[in-house]
Amino acid sequence: MPLTDTAVRNARPRERAYKLSDGRGLCLLIQPNGSKWWRFRYYWEGAEQMLSFGTYPDTPLFEARNRREAARQSIAGGVDPGAARRAKREAKDNTFESVADHYLAQLEKHVREKKRSDQTLRKARWALHTYIYPDLGRRPIGTITPQELLVTLKKIETKGLLETARRTKQRCGQIFRHAVGLGHASRDITVDLRGLLEAPTVEHHASVTDPAAVGALLRAIDGYTGRDATRFALKLAPLVFVRPGELRQAQWSDVDLANAQWRIAAQRMKRKIQHLVPLSRQALEILRELKALTGDEILLFPAQGHGSRPMSNNTLNTALRSLGYSGADMTAHGFRSMASTLLNEQGWPADAIERQLSHCEDDEVRGAYNYAQHLPLRRRMMQVWADYLDELRSGRVRLPETVLGESRPAERSPLQRSDLFLVEA
């Protein structure tokens, strides 16, 4: 006998699960915990199959019957309703958006584990939701063609957001590779788009690189009359040339004055790989003076009135402006460019310079183990660099000793040799 709404509503749980039949394969399964599930039993190719039509009361009796009749019509038409449902579910799981959301969930996990920055996650979500999902989000990821993705990326490019287009392409490449791993795509189609997006203009951080001008900058820093913590940060920046964020978030627990090194923890590095900074005599002197000022705090450079927070990311740039250096002249990040340019000109090995700049390999595993690579040479380089800055500060411009300590060639004209000897700036 068919069920009634009253019978379904009044069905009570028992010690064991039991069924109430509505006929034509549909029944209501009542579980001991009181939940009520609609089940449809049918046969396909001689084997018994079972479909779930949801729970009561979310799925009322009339809706369960409608689903039963739709399933019976599907069977009569030669289509297995269970297989059709699975295919639909798999198609939903295969969309670009579903794969990208799975990728973002992993990225979020890395953020919680301090392996990636929260800013990276926010930017990834913003780009995908703003530019990619509207066009391609509901498409099965394995069916998207390079041409279709290019059309979507070109829409970003036409807005003048060249760097955003480039980074979004890179993010899509990571998602396609994620899809390959999940079995939803056969390859990363972004490799077909190389060279098809307009390259953004690289904007380098303003930096002072002329030796005489570097000397003038160092003397200006010595004359800075603002807050003491800011003055010490300005004096230390050219000696360690780390990223401004890494400098202002420096913690005393990472600084080993006895062994003259600063080991920056991975969570405070851009690439989330620990970094080792050898400390010159000059850097140690600054740090010892600073310790008397902020040594009781966690941070070397706490914000004014907030010992638990680092100084603002604009503090050093504002201080440089107060010294007469505009944003087009010098930035806090420019100390890195200054060191890179002059150290390369002086003949130090590029690998040692790049390692000291923490320009790590794309392979994060290799980078994690190679943070101490070239360390003896880097220790010497950092001390020679600090001595060189002292010379520039004094107003005397010279090229420091060579990497291997060879004597400089003398067979040059005075003009050619002017950068090889101690001369007045």
The verdict on whether 369 is a catalytic residue reads yes
Catalytic residue among 333, 355, 371, 378: 333
Whether 275 is a known active-site residue: answer no
| Residues present in the chain in total | 425
- The question of whether 333 is a catalytic residue gets the answer yes
What is the 8-class DSSP label of residue 189?
G
Clarify whether 89 is annotated catalytic.
no
Can you give the C-alpha Rg of the chain in angstroms? 33
Q: Is 359 known to be catalytic?
A: yes
Q: Is 12 a catalytic residue?
A: no
Q: Please report how the helices 211-222 and 375-393 are oriented relative to each other, as an axis angle in degrees rounded to 10.
A: 80
For residue 21, the cross-strand partners are: 27
Token reading at 354: 């790049």
Of 138, 369, 408, 412, the catalytic one is: 369
* Residue whose pair of structure tokens reads 């189609």 in the numeric block: 189
169, 336, 355, 378: which is the annotated catalytic residue? Answer: 336
Token pair of 349 as six digits? 């090995």
270, 379, 396, 417: the active-site residue? 270
Among residues 36, 116, 178, 243, the one annotated as catalytic is 243
Q: What is the DSSP secondary structure assignment for residue 141, as one 8-state letter?
A: G
Exposure string over 137-176, b if 16+ CB within 10 A, otherwise e: beebbbebeeeebbebbeebbeeebeebbbbbbebbbebb
- Cβ partners under 8 Å of residue 74, min gap 6: 80, 81, 84
Cα 157 vs. chain centroid, distance in angstroms? 22
Task: Look up residue 131 and give its DSSP letter.
Answer: I
Which residues are the active-site residues? 243, 270, 333, 336, 359, 369
